[in-house]
Chain A
Amino acid sequence: MIAVLIRVLCLGTAVGTAAALTPSLVSGRHYAVLAVAWVIVAVLVGTYATRRPLVAKYLVPGTILLVLFTVTPVLATLQLSTTNYGDGTRTTKQETITQVLATSVVETPDSPTFHLAVATTGNPVAGPFTFFLVDPATAEAFSGTEEGLVRLEPDQVTVAGGFVTAAPGYTFLTPKQVNDAAPHLREFAVPTEGGAIRSRGLREAFEGRAVLRYDEATDTIVNTDTGVRYTVQRQGDREYFVDGGGTRLTDQSWRAGVGLDNYRKVFTDPRILGSFLGIFAWTVVFAAGSVALTLALGLVLAVTLNDPRVRGQKLYRSVLLLPYAIPGFISILVWSGFFNQDFGLINGLTGLHVNWLGDPFAAKAALLLLNLWLGFPYMFLVTTGALQAIPADVREAATIDGAGRLTAFRRITFPLVLVAIAPILVAGFAFNFNNYNVVELLTHGGPFTPDNPNAGATDILISYTVRLAFGAGGAQFGFASAIATLLFVITGVLAAAQFRATRSLEEVH
């Protein structure tokens, strides 16, 4: 009975959530999200509303989450990697043209700045709108629509404080309504002889005209002042509007598909290939070293504290967890101060003069040291758990068989612990393989040599590729996605290989 009630409640919540989201998703035209939400609800209802024992009941939640948060981003990244999306290509062609034309509006010289009141005969959101204008110099009032400008007689409207405040049949908009109507008012212009009157802010209008005009038939932009025509031309991996001499009208290009060009760039750019092997090797060393060092320290501490003769175990364990309890970002930034050659705590305490962050070798050591500090409590925690799960009779049997402490540890305890934590070691390796934060915050991938400002001594693949994708060329999301896809493949292959290797550990039993 209770079970049915809970089931009904949970399913009701799911349906209710989807129903509650529907209006806002429809109004925002997010139809794909809407479809996904209802498909998920349908799957949930179809699975859990029946009383039949289905295997799906166990698999559905995990599968839904996997598809939503792992498969979808991977597919989206793949899709993005076939475009040139990035700095200079963030807009569609239509948006680019609209923006370029809109920003070419110049104010007509010697034209008055009108006092503006926006009114409507319809509703304040969608219009239709009328501009009521007052020329402050002459105090003449006008009304303006997209048909044109009409001069008003003083008895037609009420003018107060230099603004038209009322007119029969019109509702006047409050400042907030003027702001909310911005998408419509941006397109709204009152045609005049010298151009058009547009609004400026909340209470002003000015006469100006767009210097540029777009001709759809020939796909050209024309400067009406100079007569120069700008045609679409390809330069590099993107298209621009350029004049006859090849000078661009604007640096703003637009989004386009480029097929596999981004991948081609990765495999043909000598800059990338030249540094790749060394960085890949250091990435593996960094990831494996971080895991090995943290495991070694964590295990030693866990074994030591696991001995029943140690007093105050709880206290020690809490203290050892502290580095893990402090947010990593803070730890890393504090440590980057510790490593400072002249003012840092480490050189200060030891009396050394090591250039921790400026020497390629020392910087690598600093990075591993920091990662050891960040990671050992986790390994300590995990191995403590594994140690406590090893039954005492196993160890007793070993002692009876004449094994010393070390032998017992080497032959019995350690293999058993390793079996339990093997998946965690693999996950730790995969995590550190792409541990962008620690590298970026401590060394920025440096120190660098002048002949290669793109690849630093402590760069791991991810920090290196982030620099390639977001460094000199600004943000190149398409290219970055291609690299992310490749990294995903590399990390996946390595992790798969490691899981195969750790399977042999199972033979302990």
Chain B
Amino acid sequence: MKPIQRRCALVAAVTLLAVAACSDGQPASPAPTGAAPAASGAPARQNADLVIWTSEVASRAVQPIAEDFGRQNGITVAVQVISADLAANAITANTAGNGPDVLMLPNDFLGGALQNGAIAPLPLRAEDLTAYESGALASVTRNGQVWALPYGMENLVLYRNTKAAPKAPATVEELVSTGQAAVKKGTVERALSLPVGQDGDAYHMEPFFTSAGGSLFAIDADGQYDPQQVGVGTAESIAAASKIAALGEGGSKVLTRSVDGTNAIAQFTDGKAAYLVSGPWALADIRKSGVPYDITPVPPFAGGEPASPFLAAQAFWLMSKARNPAFAQEFITKTMNTPEAMTAMYTQDPRPPVRTDVLASVSAKDPDMAKLAAGAKNSTPLPDFPFMSGVWPPLGQAYAAIVGGADPASTMQKTASTIESVVPAK
């Protein structure tokens, strides 16, 4: 019916098109299999005499200090911003010998890093350590060794748009009523911006959850978490979940899954939300936005427990397979371990410094620092168990479901059994 050449030409034309069109719509390129979620491109180590991997915010702060260090020692320095899965990427790259020399991450990196032998202890002198806040230091200490140099505190606080809500709320109930009143008046569009998202956010829900009587793990006599005793499915936690449900989409609609990590801070900086629950990382944006704000600790529920957010310490880690261990050690234990460097870090990335002398000096000039630090008064340390990667997602999903109107009791019970299944037996 058809000459053979024509058919060949047709096939050839289409094949050419298919090859030419191989970018990323529907081409037959392999999907990532058996690669970590960061398969979209694992970071590659730049070649320099000191390589630091960090997040975007922290990079601005450490860059000038690192460049200075490079000049003093006549070496090249590279500060690389790793946007996704910094911890997992750093561990994997370190195992292969292509990792950074210095890594900047919060203290909950410790458990997983020790399990993988990814970090080396810092040879800090005893007199060096006295300058640092003991709680933050304890969170990076294990087996009698200090594993990181903490520089900045992170905990959730309540940011308040003072135009919409002039007075600091004493309770969550007051927060809701004043926030809703401001919405009615038309000053703002939302009472509260707290990231929930479709996957939930256990970290941001923690102060509300604890204030309503819930707990993630029981705390033993030494003040340590006892992961063998999961608190999520207990009667107290279910009661707490009901209180969260009452704030959710089936209740007063203060909490909604539409607010997530990508838009929570923007809601506040655009002047659309009366209140925001967030940490020090939001401060620079809020100051830039010009929204009149005040900072207070996250309030408790009326008649409830104190609201206790997680306390994390951002820190400098020394990688075990650093290619330039001497420079890395020198940078962390000598250069960063000074009031001047810690003050410079604060200037670029405002968060309460862990060095007590620096905290005192910056608090004198910047009242926000003292207010952020005050938010940590009832805090508990951010757990660093390696198995937390199996705890955060289900707990977050439970909160998302409860905010969305799911039954608190059965949701929390099912989540508790999920969490128990990932906690290894003693």
Contacts and interface: CB of A to CB of B under 8 A. Distances in A.
Interface of A: 77, 80, 87-88, 90-91, 95-96, 99-100, 102-107, 109, 113, 175-176, 178-179, 182, 185-186, 198-203, 206, 208, 236, 250-252, 290-291, 294, 323-324, 327-329, 337, 340-344, 355, 357-358, 374-375, 377-379, 381-382, 385-386, 388-391, 394, 416, 420-421, 423-424, 427-428, 430-432, 434-437, 440, 443-444, 446-451, 453, 462, 466, 469-475, 477, 480-481, 483-484, 487-488, 509
A471 B393 contact: yes
Contact of B28 (A103, A430, A473): A430
Contacts of A374: 25-26
A474 B386 contact: yes
Nearest to B96: A90
A432 B26 contact: yes
Contacts of A106: 144-145
Given A436-B32, A509-B1, A103 B25 contact: no
B117 A96 contact: yes
Contacts of A250: 114
Interface in B268-296: none
| B123, B389, B401 — most chain A CB neighbours (10 Å) | B123
A119 to B, nearest CB: 15
A444 B200 CA distance: 12
B386 A88 contact: yes
Nearest to A473: B390
Contact of B389 (A200, A206, A471): A471
A55 B135 CA distance: 73
B257 A358 contact: yes
Interface in B104-147: 111-112, 114-118, 120-121, 123, 125-126, 143-145
B132 to A, nearest CB: 17
Contacts of B120: 102-103
A96 B386 CA distance: 17
Interface in B386-426: 386-387, 389-390, 393-394, 397-398, 400-401, 404, 406, 410-412, 414-415, 418, 422, 424
A344 B257 CA distance: 12
A469 B326 CA distance: 36
Given A385-B13, A391-B6, A427 B18 contact: yes
Contacts of B11: 420
B91 A90 contact: yes
B151 interface: no
Interface stretch (B33-41, B214-222, B351-359, B368-376): B33-41
| B18, B74, B263 — most chain A CB neighbours (10 Å) | B18
A385 B25 contact: no
Nearest to A373: B25
A337 B21 contact: no
A193 to B, nearest CB: 20
Given A385-B13, A431-B28, A431-B31, A473 B116 contact: no
Contacts of A178: 326
Nearest to A328: B24
A488 B126 CA distance: 55
Interface in B145-198: 145, 198
Contacts of A324: 21, 23, 25
A231 B1 CA distance: 79
A428 B198 contact: no
Contacts of B95: 90-91
Interface in B81-99: 88, 91-92, 95
Interface residues of B, number: 89
A100 to B, nearest CB: 8
B401 A200 contact: no
B121 A103 contact: yes
A484 B326 contact: no
Interface string B59-97: 000000000000001110000000000001001100100
Contacts of B37: 440, 466, 470
Contact of A201 (B74, B329, B390): B329
A87 B116 contact: yes
Contact of A484 (B33, B116, B389): B33
B30 A434 contact: yes
A343 B415 contact: no
B10 A251 contact: no
A199 B326 contact: yes
B116 A358 contact: no
A386 B14 CA distance: 6
Nearest to A96: B117
Contact of A431 (B27, B36, B418): B27
14 contacts: A90-B116, A91-B116, A201-B334, A202-B329, A250-B114, A340-B258, A358-B198, A382-B14, A389-B13, A394-B2, A432-B26, A437-B31, A471-B390, A472-B393
B332 to A, nearest CB: 8
Given A252-B115, A487-B33, 19 more contacts: A77-B33, A104-B145, A107-B125, A176-B49, A200-B123, A208-B123, A341-B256, A343-B258, A382-B14, A427-B18, A431-B29, A436-B31, A436-B33, A437-B40, A447-B198, A450-B401, A451-B414, A474-B112, A474-B387
